[in-house]
Amino acid sequence: MFMSTHMICRFREHYPDIPLEDIPLYIRYGEKVSPQIVQVMLHRVRASKEDTYVLSPDRKGLFVVNNGAGIVVTYLRLPVECQDWCLQQWPMAA
């Protein structure tokens, strides 16, 4: 899986010391979220149906995977109230 430098920089704002090889695990073990839910979560007019959205396992952000290019293009950091909502909708495993 190819990851953009932009996505890595954004993700490292949450986890500054994470080794590069560990980042794909956060994507692999995340929860896929529909574009319609992403629109509600982020208050966006529309989320691309061409992309896959993956909620990070810690519920702090969303990875955006461009399916056409096969690249993880960005990591959207979620506001605290959205993180709380995500924890209610997708509880983390113990």
**Domain definitions of the chain by residue range:** 2-89
Return the bridge partners of 53, or none: 33, 64
Instruction: Supply the pLDDT for residue 42.
Output: 83
Mean pLDDT of all residues in 39-52: 81
The pLDDT of residue 41 is: 85
At 13-25, the pLDDT tens digits run 989 999 999 999 9
pLDDT at residue 40, as a whole number: 85
What pLDDT score was predicted for residue 44?
73
HEC secondary structure over 20-82 = HHHHHHHHHCCEEECHHHHHHHHCCCCCCCCEEEEECCCCCEEEEEECCCCEEEEEEECCHHH
Predicted confidence at residue 1, as pLDDT, reads 76
Please report where in the chains the tokens 């990851």 appear, as a residue: 3
